[in-house]
Amino acid sequence: MKLTFLGGAGTVTGSKILLEVNYKKILIDCGLFQGLKELREKNWETLPINLNELDLVLLTHAHLDHSGYIPLLVKNGYKGEIYCTEATKDLTEIILLDSGKIQEEDARRANKYEYSKHNPAEALYNVDDAKEAITHLKTFESNKWHKFNDEIEFKFINSGHILGSVFVLIKVNEKIIAFSGDIGRTEPILLPKFEYIDYADYLIVESTYGNRVHKEVSISDELLKYINHTYAKKGILIIPTFSVERAQEIIYLLSVLKRKKQLPNIPIFLDSPMGVNATEVYFKYNKIHKLTEEDIKSMLSTVHLISSVKASKAVVNDNSPKIVLAGSGMITGGRVLHYLNKYISDKRNSVLIVGFQAEGTRGRALLSGDSEIKFFGEYHKINAEVFKINAFSGHADQNELMDWLKHFKSSPTLTFINHGEPHQSQALKVKIRTVLNWNCTVAKMNNEYYLD
């Protein structure tokens, strides 16, 4: 058996892990690189895999950094299936179609305004590529073993990160290899808590917050504080929002504040076609989240859902106080850029960051205190106030990761730490070795690891 980390090692993006065993090649996750230019450029590199020899792709969840490369995989020759849960399939369809559309639009805009070094600028993949990729998705139930062939079985177990997200267990040669994907919080806002795993011979565990413990604060109180602060300035609160999970969490919390009559009387918009579609998916899968019918009705009455370009432009051009949730969450693209283009230079306005910002993203630049950010080929002065709520994170912190690991009944032969920037991964490695005395290593990009 051999593992190769083709992404998500030394970084939190581009997750792809290749397992080679019994003359079979299985890819666990197939994500896009985001953030730093040197990482984004890897999306254009040819994968070191003969795609005619790739037998299967297993998907832990729908987020772009775990699923966004699938259209390229299929475009470049992969003909096999992609296994996932039902909710992951529905969300992946939404995310890939949106990704193809955004890349088409970015290339078109770059060519129109001639701010790309490439002439012409091209999309990494388009909507048609995404549509083709979606036909390869196949769903399986969680919490039961499924046969891939006579020698290889797999199982999905709830990871509590986003709707449909799972840990992936692969059983082969009497060994179990566990892939964590992304691990959720111990008390998610909308979802059941992650499940524990009893045993694995080999474990791959994420480390996004491997060096940090999230502060215990009231997210609702924090959210209300920034809303009232911006409202008092007669400003506009812009919340760059991940369309899957984070958007639904914020809408739910806003609906609770509205029910308690604590919100100021200002309109709230979710300006994200993907966010709107993802919200509908959440309401569809009412058995795997904690929302009641009353919660759902309240959410729908609290927020104006914006999909059309015409409606979006109208909201952008209305200068009156409002709260806007718009993609993308790391400000790497999407409709949030149009709001920032108009409002980020006005000190009455605020930008509220509500999730992890990868190195090299505009969101990270805002948090770092940069005086300007670049998009649409121009630099934009940052006069709006920038705030962050850390407690919104959908990733387990160090204590929660250790809690999950401590429930293994015996230590894995070897634990690989991935999906983290170097400092976070190293910190988790030291913690695991010190507290659990496990044999572990930090995964390195493109390194091959042979398993006994």
Is 287 found in the same domain as 158? no
- Retrieve residue 393's tokens: 């994170």
Q: 433-446: buried (b, 16+ CB within 10 Å) or exposed (e) per residue?
A: eeeeebebebbebe
Mean pLDDT within 124-147: 97
Is 401 found in the same domain as 377? no
Is 172 found in the same domain as 66? yes
> Which of these three, 392, 421, 437, is where a domain ends?
392
Number of domains in the chain: 2
- Retrieve residue 61's tokens: 């969840």
Residue type, 38: E
Residue 397 per-residue DSSP state: B
Give whole-number Cα distances, 290 to 10, 227, 296, in Å.
34, 26, 10
**Strands 322-326, 268-271: pairing kind:** parallel
Look at the block and give the residue holding tokens 């718009």. Answer: 326
Is 401 found in the same domain as 386? no
CATH of the domain at 382: 3.40.50.10890
CATH of the domain at 162: 3.60.15.10
Is 192 found in the same domain as 47? yes
Is 49 found in the same domain as 20? yes
- Band of pLDDT at residue 384, cut at 50, 70 and 90: very high
> Which of these three, 347, 370, 392, is where a domain ends?
392
How many whole angstroms separate alpha carbon 82 and alpha carbon 138? 6
How many whole angstroms separate alpha carbon 22 and alpha carbon 16? 20
Is 78 found in the same domain as 170? yes
> Domain range holding 378?
219-392
Q: What angle do CA 7, 200, 12 make, to 5 degrees?
A: 20
pLDDT digits (tens, 9 = 90+) for 196-237: 999 999 999 999 999 999 988 999 999 999 999 999 999 999
- Retrieve residue 314's tokens: 């109208």
> Which of these three, 346, 372, 392, is where a domain ends?
392
- pTM for the whole structure: 0.91
Composition of the chain by helix, strand, coil, percent to 5:
35, 20, 45
Is 185 found in the same domain as 47? yes
pLDDT digits (tens, 9 = 90+) for 313-369: 999 999 999 999 998 899 988 899 999 999 999 999 999 999 889 888 999 999 999
Q: Of 411, 421, 277, which is closest to residue 360 (Cα–Cα)?
A: 421
Is 359 found in the same domain as 251? yes
Q: Of 435, 421, 73, which is closest to residue 443 (Cα–Cα)?
A: 421
Give whole-number Cα distances, 261 to 175, 229, 254, 257, in Å.
55, 17, 10, 6
Is 408 found in the same domain as 385? no
Percent of the chain scored above 90 by pLDDT?
A: 88
pLDDT of 117 > 80? The answer is no
What pLDDT was estimated at residue 229? 98
Is 388 found in the same domain as 398? no
Is 385 found in the same domain as 257? yes
